[in-house]
Amino acid sequence: MKLSVAGTGYVGLVAGVCFAEKGHVVTCVDVDEEKISQMRQGISPIYEEGLEELLKKNIDKGRLFFTSDYQSAYSDADAIFIGVGTPEQPDGSANLRYIAAVCRQIAQSVTRDCLVVVKSTVPVGTNDKVEQFIKDNLERDVTVRVASNPEFLAQGNAVYDTMHAARIIIGTEDEVAKKTLLDIYAPFDLPIVSVSRRSAEMIKYACNNFLALKISYMNDIANLCELVEANIDDVAEGMRYDPRIGAKFLKAGVGYGGSCFPKDTKALTYLARQHGAQLKTIDAAVEINAQQKTRLFEKAKKRLMTFENVKIAVLGLAFKPGTDDLREAPSLDNVRLLLEHGADVVCYDPIAAQNFHKRYPNVPLANSVEEALEGAFCCFIFTEWEEFVRLTPEVFRRKMRVPLVYDGRNILDPELMKRGGVEYYSIGR
Ligand code: UDX
């Protein structure tokens, strides 16, 4: 099938590449000319395992194209997927201007009946607006159907999550639209859940908000574990065998970050308020997460006399391992606080360092863990990168001025650290 994808961020680019891999002819559209020229040369603008290989392979096979010329990309496509961003606005609502811009371009360009598929995370009711907006702006006498098809991929696992999605949500009441989407997804051979457009839009928010709530719940329990001398990792181990609870998203730590949970929790509570309702559970999850992010900083503040001119090593900047993304990363709140308190901060991250440098050009970056730890009085771990999991007490003792470690991802063994002479603090244990 001839598909076009609007937006080449995590959602759009990964979808485009995976559709091509499954045999469709795909044109990815973006306004950023530089990105387009990079991608044409087989270079992925984002770091995702396996993405660049598939991108190159499908360009070579003549199934994957990149352009900023939306007219040619949209004019005779069977389906156009919208994967542009819906960033958070100051009041917490989702900004739909990029979606609107693409819809306008679609309305100007299509020359035959086609299906527009909204993959971006959008507030319930947006697909209705998209349909009306395109209809109002259409320049030719064609039928444009609109369906919702939310994306559930997690960064760092994007290609795998797309190829092996737990389910595909198809949101439409229109039989033609449904059949087109079923045909597009047939080669993936994945479970399909077919619902109304509004339910599909809600499923996406309900999932992300539930996962955010689950993490905040575990962090809440973790904080109580500290007070009653229980161990949150053991508690999670005991919980995960219960199929009603599930084995994942039970890890306590310095809270969730990233491009989805912080934004989608705020967007859903905003939507509720707009309708005169209140999502008390999600309000609580957001509040807990905000406090959790700086919990270890607050502990260190009590432990240290001052941060003024004290060398502090920060290990891990990305909001989670496997990505260079820093959006809403707990590391950022902590670095900001440490700097405000006069600390001499040195950071290390195997992949996100360059992105961090763009935000904090004056904060020195180390080239290795050892370099970051050299002469430090205290160390924070904010991302569970594999190379940090393997750290031994010996390296903290050898390199640091004072082997004082705050592990925000519970990746090191407290007993081992203690026995090895490290003063070690983590979350909920
Ligand atoms: C998430 C959803 O998983 C995905 O389905 C959705 O489409 C987009 O949002 P992502 O933000 O890429 O994906 O990452 P995810 O792996 O879900 O982690 C989000 C945050 O939660 C990270 O900061 C991570 O460190 C944190 N987290 C996750 C925990 O603190 N504990 C856990 O047990 C799991």
398-416 pLDDT, tens digit each? 999 999 999 999 999 999 9
- Which pLDDT belongs to residue 46? 87
- Which pLDDT belongs to residue 97? 96
> Do 151 and 15 touch, CB atoms closer than 8 A?
yes
CA of 67 to the centre of ligand 1 (A): 31
- Which pLDDT belongs to residue 395? 98
Rounded Cα gap, residues 284 and 9, in angstroms: 30
Q: Which of 260, 266, 410 to mutate to test the pocket of ligand 1 (most atoms within 8 A of CB)?
A: 260
248 phi and psi, to 5 degrees?
-110, 165
Interval 74-88: pLDDT, tens: 999 999 999 999 998
User: DSSP readout, 153-205?
Assistant: --TTSHHHHHHT-S-EEEE-S-HHHHHHHHHHHGGG---EEEE-HHHHHHHHH
Q: Which domains does the chain have, with CATH numbers?
A: 2-195 (3.40.50.720), 203-292 (1.10.1040.10), 295-425 (3.40.50.720)
Amino acid at the residue 241: Y
User: DSSP readout, 235-302?
Assistant: HHHHHHT-TTT-SSS---SS---SSSHHHHHHHHHHHHHHTT---HHHHHHHHHHHHHHTHHHHHHHH
- Which pLDDT belongs to residue 6? 98
Atom of ligand 1 nearest to the CA of 157: 12
Cα 219 to chain centroid distance, Å, stands at 19
Q: What angle do CA 221, 261, 265 make, to 5 degrees?
A: 85
Rounded Cα gap, residues 338 and 297, in angstroms: 8
Residues in contact with ligand 1 by the CB-under-6-Å rule are: 151-155, 208, 211, 215, 249-251, 253, 256-258, 260-261, 319-320
Cα 313 to chain centroid distance, Å, stands at 25
> Count of CB atoms within 10 A of residue 237's CB?
12
260 part of the active site: yes
Rounded Cα gap, residues 153 and 200, in angstroms: 15
- Which pLDDT belongs to residue 323? 87
For residues 385-405, one letter each, b for 16 or more C-beta atoms within 10 angstroms of the residue's C-beta and e for the rest, the string is: beebeebebebbeebbebbbb
Rounded Cα gap, residues 174 and 154, in angstroms: 29
For residues 246-263, one letter each, b for 16 or more C-beta atoms within 10 angstroms of the residue's C-beta and e for the rest, the string is: eeebbbbbbbbbbbbbbb
Rounded Cα gap, residues 255 and 329, in angstroms: 9
Rounded Cα gap, residues 376 and 346, in angstroms: 9
Sign of the torsion formed by the C-alpha atoms of 291, 153, 274 and 278? negative
CA of 320 to the centre of ligand 1 (A): 8
Rounded Cα gap, residues 341 and 338, in angstroms: 5
CA of 255 to the centre of ligand 1 (A): 10
Dihedral angle of Cα 154, 160, 162, 168, to the nearest 10 degrees: -90
Q: Which residues of the chain have pLDDT under 70?
A: none
Rounded Cα gap, residues 418 and 102, in angstroms: 56
- Which pLDDT belongs to residue 236? 98
Structure tokens at 171: 């949101």
> Do 310 and 378 touch, CB atoms closer than 8 A?
yes
